[in-house]
Structure 1
Amino acid sequence: MFRRVKAAAPAPEDEAEDPARRRGMLLVLRETNYRRFALSQIVSLIGTWMQRVAQDWLVLSLSGGSPVALGAAAALQFLPILFLSLWAGVLADRVDIRRTLMALQTLMGLSALGLGLLVLTGTVQLWSVYLFCLVLGCLSALDAPIFEAYVVEMVGTENAGSAVALNSMNFNIARIIGPAVAGSAISWAGTGWVIIANAASYAAVVSALLMTDKHSLYRIPPAPRVPGMVQEGLRYVRGRPDLTALMVLVLTVSVFANFTASLAVAAVQIFTLGVGGYGYLSTMLAVGMLIGAAEAVRRGARGRPRLRVSFVCAAVLGSMEAVLGMMPTAWLFGLVLIPVGAGLTLFVTAAHSTIQLSVPPWVRGRVMGLYMMVLMGGTPVGAPLSGWLAQTLGARAPFLGGGAVVALVTLLLALLLVRRNISRTVSSPEDDYADDRVHLHSS
């Protein structure tokens, strides 16, 4: 049995004097492959958010405004993550990441094209929307861990933290632009053309992947194919109390701070807003998330992530979500969505960086597959739960109850880690866990 020795945390003065950390964002953007890919991702993500708004509005229209139908559509889109993410993590550790990502992006574009054509031809029905949600969910479940592995291949492990924060910023820039554009585009051209626009946006990512300079990639040798690779990844996480606690907290946030269905329901049932009002609420949430992403970039240049940051952000998120549920007017509701969005992004980015940067390369794909499973896999539970709570107890119930649960679970997990004397600073995989693979195979 091997013993883990915690590496000493860098002194504050060392962090201040390290120009690489202070210029982490600039170092990442110097990578031509990443810079090109990041720009293409913004285009694609804007299209994705446009389709999400259009799809939600389409489901509400076809179902007569049913929040349960909206929750079911979200659940079908995210349900495959529960079953496929771990296996996708194994693929990420074994396949040619760039080619696999290119194939998946192409298939997702074709899926959006199929749904858009059904809407334009007037043949779309609720069950067909559900079917395309399921297909897109399967492709997204395979795509997410492979995407995370490709980011590391583009920028290297040293700059992965800054890349994670920049990806989060791109995501939230798109989350601001996409719903705002979709609200006007749906009124002007209809949901079908908005979904077709998303299908076209995938071409930007595929083009960036085709233009990749393969000689500039930080190649990670594929893991050898051995029996029990999924179980090996699970054993690794189980042996890390810090990672286990973070996974539980991420799952809690994913289920109980889930705005996939509850935001649209709040717009319609609490404030009787139209599609423009729903776009306004989505935009205010995205503004907060962009603020959180900008702060995450600033923090990402300061050194290793800390467990404390993740737990503080989760506590703030839970508290503000409960406050959100008490807001009496739409404009106050929108204003409170800003700190809610900031807390959500800071938590997810801190947890993401903590996990990715503390895991050795040979198991990173599988651990990130588990992370994506708990992050996105909570939606199939959270979205229908939000719809049921809204229909049974009122549209404010998902916000009030969800915020209380997030705050309580954060407190309980924090007390557990303090009791077990877990360090607040996450250790480097190279320093602290280089012998874990030997230990896992020998246990």
Structure 2
Amino acid sequence: MLTASVALGFADPWMILGFSFLIACGGALNDPAWQASVGDLVDRRDVPAAVTLLSVGFNTVRTVGPALGGIVVASFGLVTALAVSTLSYLVPLGTIWRCKWKVRSSRLPRASMRTAIYDGLRFTAMSSEIKAAIARGTLFGLASIAILALLPLIVRDQLAGGPLAYGTLMAGFGTGSLIAGISNSLFRRILSQERLMTLACVACAACSLSLALSSSLAVAAMALALGGAGWVTAWSGLGVSVQLASPRWVVGRTISIYYALIDGGIAAGSWVWGTVAQNYSLTLALEGSAGALLLVAAAGFLFPLRERRESEPDPLEEFDAPAVALDLRPRAGPS
């Protein structure tokens, strides 16, 4: 619909925002289900690697996508770029259509939508591991999003650059993400999850502070590589924590709650740091982001990430409901 409205020439900013809202709603339905399916596609011991691979792929596309989109817009026009974006959704649809993977059947009865939502919220509220991951993720998203949200202003105001400089910085961010993703398995073997989260916060804080104080494109690109490494390390670790702490029957709901709150933190952080940059200065916004990231690292004393290894059994996986010989019903018994 966005492609058609632009092609017909009656698109305006509010219409674009409305369609963008619908696209985000589609992502909110798709992403948790896609992430939850990881446990059905790979063994439990491979979940951390699979989650990291998804995170690396997402951040690689985040880096390459804008560059390719800019090339298509410059070469063929905006309508062609939007049409290509629309057609690209056929790839995951085709994947789902062709791949018939085996899913473990659940012995639990199917619940109503209201009951399922309530059970997901209740389980999340009872799990200290998931609550810690959500709290740290929300705070990390709020603090770290300044790096990406303010990057166009950094290119324009501090580096006096244009699209090429922006692409170079995004390439640096993507390179750091890729290297961190490849090295993630090694890091998980030698460092605890809490230590990795702390290092990720420190790396992003160093990136934000370097961007605030430097006017060199090369220094900014190296800082973005460090920030990209911290970004992937943090999100993949938090995602793994939620996955391993959730039994299969509720993992889709816990991931949905996790995404809802961290996306809320990212949205709030984008507004907060943009407001600080507009009312005060870009440098102050980036320095504030660096300070906030250090506080997120220190928040480990309040919300520590539990070290749950992939070799541990799935929570409640080995539970077997007892067989009842009597024909008991919910309201049977003395009144």
Q: Normalising by structure 1, what TM-score?
A: 0.64
Query: Deviation digits for residues 221-275 of structure 1, max 9, x if unmatched?
Result: 2763055433332332333333322211100111121145311222223333323
Q: Which of these residues, 197, 218, 243, is aligned with residue 103 of structure 2?
A: 218
Alignment-mate amino acid for residue 297 of structure 2: T
The answer on 1:399 being equivalent to 2:286 is yes
Return closer, same or farther for 1:338/1:304 CA change in 2, 3 Å cut-off. Answer: closer
Q: Which residue of 2 aligns with 1:326?
A: 213
Q: Which residue of 1 aligns with 2:4?
A: 117
For residues 186-225 of structure 1, the aligned pairs below 5 Å read 186-212=73-99, 214=100, 216-221=101-106, 224-225=110-111
Aligned-pair CA distance for 1:367: 0.9
Alignment-mate amino acid for residue 430 of structure 1: P
Structure 2 contact 154–211 (Cα < 8 Å) conserved: no
Q: Which residue of 2 aligns with 1:430?
A: 313
Q: Which of these residues, 356, 360, 373, is aligned with residue 247 of structure 2?
A: 360
The answer on 1:288 being equivalent to 2:171 is no
Structure 1 contact 180–280 (Cα < 8 Å) conserved: no
The answer on 1:414 being equivalent to 2:300 is yes
Q: Which residue of 1 aligns with 2:125?
A: 238
* Structure having the larger proportion of residues in helix: 1
Query: Deviation digits for residues 186-231 of structure 1, max 9, x if unmatched?
Result: 322233322221111111111111111x3x4233527630554333
Return closer, same or farther for 1:130/1:329 CA change in 2, 3 Å cut-off. Answer: same
Structure 1 contact 293–346 (Cα < 8 Å) conserved: yes
For residues 75-154 of structure 1, the aligned pairs below 5 Å read 114-154=1-41
Structure 1 contact 318–404 (Cα < 8 Å) conserved: yes
Return closer, same or farther for 1:223/1:156 CA change in 2, 3 Å cut-off. Answer: farther
Return closer, same or farther for 1:170/1:432 CA change in 2, 3 Å cut-off. Answer: closer
Q: Distance in 2 between matches of 1:152 and 1:303?
A: 24
Return closer, same or farther for 1:405/1:223 CA change in 2, 3 Å cut-off. Answer: farther
RMSD: 2.9
Query: Deviation digits for residues 141-196 of structure 1, max 9, x if unmatched?
Result: 11111111223222243422221122122223323432332333332223332222
For residues 270-281 of structure 1, the aligned pairs below 5 Å read 270-281=158-169
Query: Deviation digits for residues 37-90 of structure 1, max 9, x if unmatched?
Result: xxxxxxxxxxxxxxxxxxxxxxxxxxxxxxxxxxxxxxxxxxxxxxxxxxxxxx
Q: Which residue of 1 aligns with 2:231?
A: 344
Structure 2 contact 45–311 (Cα < 8 Å) conserved: no
Aligned-pair CA distance for 1:427: 7.6
Structure 2 contact 197–233 (Cα < 8 Å) conserved: yes
Q: Distance in 2 between matches of 1:276 and 1:260?
A: 16
Q: Which of these residues, 186, 192, 197, is aligned with residue 310 of structure 1?
A: 197
- The alignment of Structure 1 onto Structure 2 pairs a total of residues equal to 318
Q: Which is higher, the Rg of structure 1 or of structure 2?
A: 2
Return closer, same or farther for 1:414/1:437 CA change in 2, 3 Å cut-off. Answer: farther
Query: Deviation digits for residues 271-301 of structure 1, max 9, x if unmatched?
Result: 333233322222221111111211225456x
Structure 2 residue runs of 5 or longer lacking an equivalent are 322-335
Identity of aligned residues (%): 21
Aligned-pair CA distance for 1:436: 9.7
Return closer, same or farther for 1:190/1:384 CA change in 2, 3 Å cut-off. Answer: farther
Aligned-pair CA distance for 1:406: 1.7
Larger CA deviation: 273-282 vs 246-255 = 273-282
Q: Which residue of 2 aligns with 1:269?
A: 157
SS in 2 for 1:361: coil
Structure 1 residue runs of 5 or longer lacking an equivalent are 1-113, 439-443
